[in-house]
Structure 1
Amino acid sequence: MDLSGKVAVVTGSGRGLGRGYAEALAASGAAVVVNDVDAEAADQVATGITQRGGAAVSVVAPVGSAEVAELLVSTAVKEFGRLDAMVTNAGILRDRVLWKMTDSDFDAVVDVHLRGTFTCARAAVLHMREQGTGGRLILISSPAGQRGNFGQTNYAAVKAGVVAMARTWAMELAKAGITANAVVPVAATEMTKTIPAFAPAIAEAKRTGQPFPEWLRRDEGLGTVDDVAALIVFLASEESAGITGQAIGIGGDKLALWTHPQEKAVAYTPGGWTADAIAASWHTGVGAEPETYGIPAPTSPVA
């Protein structure tokens, strides 16, 4: 897919999934602003892209504030003349169960993931609207935001918020030709190996040096960073112009469209409901088939 002439910012792209996104965009012809808090990592990615014939610069700064968001956008415009895609990937983890999670644990994750997505998207949109040629907001979410996950109150909340913002921005930005989509990636990285549902499988693959087995890649949708990056390239391209407001999952051999929350079961009673009436009807009515929650742990078919 040809992204020649396109310019993208990828936050948190010094390593892991972000690095994969930046390198895949560059390999398809886009100029890329690489961002990370680790100067060596960011410079290494940008240098590698340029050495392979691509165009990239690095910005070393922590995502979250409006000032950093504006710096990322202004760098893209100064260095490459325009901005076509903002990929909000930067993130951190501060995993703890609810009763052990501190205010600082919660606030740090909210600041990077949720505020960082908001400020970077806002800065990008301000320029894209002025530029007048449309654009792409590609917001990185997580299965934890769709399903919840043990020990991840902060992370699950912000990743759910990212999807909600994508749906809202899809409506607000439609007239400007700017799409907003959330990506729900599943890949073996330094961050995801700390998630209990995936940690054992990732550790086993690392120990043996073998590729993930077919059941893990297909049924669980867990693979490598390279397996995920293709979706970012597609969403940055002209071929995705009609796609907006969606939460799209990818990992291993699996590509998926997540549903939006909607009413599953409805019941009515004349004059409204009393607590006793709800209790009497719940298990045979609206609550007969309750929703599941949590990310299912990967389970080998021969385990």
Structure 2
Amino acid sequence: MSLEGKVAIVTGSGRGLGLAYAQELARQGAAVVINDVSVEIAETAVASIEANGGNAIAVVAPVGPTETARALVKAAVDTYGRLDILVTNAGVIRDTVLWKMSDEDFDLVIDVHLRGTFTCVREAATYMRENEIPGRIICIGSPTGQRGNFGQTNYSAAKAGVVGMVRTWALELKKAGITANAVVPVAATAMTATVPYFAAAVEAEARGAVMPAFFRHDLGFGTSEDVAGVVAYLASDEASEVSGQVIGIGGDRLQVWSHPEPVATDYHDGGWTAEALATEFPRIISDNRQSVGDRFPPLPEELQR
């Protein structure tokens, strides 16, 4: 597999998961446009790629506005002559429970994650279609968008929306040969570093040790680098037939998420009145009730703090 001659944009790639994606794309041969809101962080990311023989430039701008999307595509085309790959990773979090969440907290997260994904994909897909490039769109989702999470109304809405858009784009871009997929990463990040449950895994990574097998295998929780491989694969020619998929990755585990499907179907002649539901729905729901949120098994005793 090789990405030689390809050009990629990775939003929110100054550090963390985004930087891991950018570095892996560069390792596979792609030239990369780094994006961050900090000049210093973006320049450091570019230097890390160049130090390993790769090609990278930086666009310092917040993701969300159409102007940023246009600047990113323009930078790729002006510098490297084309655009083949877009990875939409940029994001922020403003966590709090529903009754304490402000309009500003909600709007910011939606603007960066959801609108930012939309504006960047629209700009990149337009360029790819006009230039007959069978491009690759890779959008970063989250387990929260798939199952919900306490205190993350804004984030779960944004990430669920990203997956919904990816499914639509896979249909709309198929004729042009452009694929659209979502990746759901599970990795040690600044956010998980504050969660006591993951303390042993985060500490292992910090000292350069291998994470305990319980995290890597049982939970599918690993490093940023563990996630980067699937991004590079989806960006390659080998993945030309993969589109509209939601792929979970973390540690030693890879998952293909199902699309929402009915788990129960029943009929009532004449339609479902409130009275009919009061009689029949308890039976229908009893064997088909769906869970919400992630459920983690108890930590092994040796990993407890």
TM-score, normalising length: structure 1? 0.96
Per-residue deviation, 1:202: 3.0
Whether 1:297 and 2:286 are equivalent positions in the alignment is no
1:276 aligns to what? 275
Which secondary structure state, in structure 1, belongs to the residue aligned with residue 175 of structure 2? helix
Instruction: State the Cα deviation string for residues 149-177 of structure 1 (Å, max 9, x = none).
Output: 00000000100000000000000000000
1:202 aligns to what? 198
Per-residue deviation, 1:231: 0.4
In structure 2, the CA distance between the partners of 1:298 and 1:109, relative to structure 1 (3 Å rule), is: farther
Which secondary structure state, in structure 2, belongs to the residue aligned with residue 285 of structure 1? helix
Per-residue deviation, 1:253: 0.4
Native 8 Å contact 2:63 2:69 kept in 1: yes
Q: Matches of 2:202 and 2:269 in 1, distance apart?
A: 60
Per-residue deviation, 1:192: 3.4
1:231 aligns to what? 230
Whether 1:221 and 2:217 are equivalent positions in the alignment is no
Per-residue deviation, 1:46: 0.7
1:44 aligns to what? 44
- Return 245-254 or 290-299, whichever deviates more: 290-299
1:26 aligns to what? 26
Which secondary structure state, in structure 1, belongs to the residue aligned with residue 173 of structure 2? helix
Native 8 Å contact 2:247 2:256 kept in 1: yes
Native 8 Å contact 1:170 1:181 kept in 2: yes
2:80 aligns to what? 80
Native 8 Å contact 2:181 2:246 kept in 1: yes
Instruction: State the Cα deviation string for residues 173-224 of structure 1 (Å, max 9, x = none).
Output: 0000000001000000113335xxxx22332334464532112111211000
In structure 2, the CA distance between the partners of 1:298 and 1:103, relative to structure 1 (3 Å rule), is: farther
RMSD, matched Cα: 1.3
1:188 aligns to what? 188
1:54 aligns to what? 54
Which secondary structure state, in structure 2, belongs to the residue aligned with residue 25 of structure 1? helix
Which secondary structure state, in structure 2, belongs to the residue aligned with residue 184 of structure 1? strand
TM-score, normalising length: structure 2? 0.95
2:284 aligns to what? 285
How do 1:77-156 residues align onto structure 2 when only pairs under 5 Å count? 77-156=77-156
In structure 2, the CA distance between the partners of 1:207 and 1:192, relative to structure 1 (3 Å rule), is: closer
1:4 aligns to what? 4
Q: Which amino acid aligns with 1:275?
A: A
Native 8 Å contact 1:224 1:252 kept in 2: yes
Q: Matches of 1:143 and 1:37 in 2, distance apart?
A: 25
Q: Number of paired residues?
A: 299
